Amino acid sequence: MQESFGETILELSKEDMKLNPKNPVIRMYDDDELIGKFSLKTAEVVENIDLADYDIRFAQKEIRRNRDNWLETWRDYVGILNA
C-alpha cells in the first residue's frame, strides 16, 4: 500500500516577474495552495500565508542549493516578457 501525504512545490511565477522584475521571488505551494513567498536573493520569507517552521527550513535549503539556476531562469524569463 502506498500513501501520499501531500505535495510541496517551489515555483517561479510569471505574475511575480511582471509585477516586480527586479525582485526575484519563488512561491511555495502545498497541495496546490499558495502558502508563502521567498526572496531568491536572500532566501528570506517575503510573504507568509500559512508557512510552518519546517516549510521555511525546507524552502531556504532548496533556494540555497538552486539559487544560481533559479536566478538565471528568472532573468531569462523577465527578458522574454519584456521583449
Please check whether residue 2 lies inside any domain of the structure.
no
Residue-range definition of the domain harbouring residue 42: 8-81
Determine the pLDDT at residue 4. 46
Determine the pLDDT at residue 83. 74
Please check whether residue 32 lies inside any domain of the structure.
yes
Average of per-residue pLDDT across 32-47: 97
Please check whether residue 18 lies inside any domain of the structure.
yes
15 pLDDT band, cuts 50/70/90, is very high
Average of per-residue pLDDT across 57-75: 96
Instruction: Kindly state the percentage of the chain with pLDDT values over 90.
Output: 84
5 pLDDT band, cuts 50/70/90, is low
The C-alpha cell that represents 60 in the structure block:
531556504
- The torsion angles phi and psi of 74, rounded to 5 degrees, stand at -55, -50
DSSP 9: E
User: What pTM did the predictor assign?
Assistant: 0.89
Name the domain count of the chain.
1
DSSP characters over 18-63 = HH-TTS-EEEEEETTEEEEEEETTT--EEEESS--HHHHHHHHHHH
Please check whether residue 3 lies inside any domain of the structure.
no
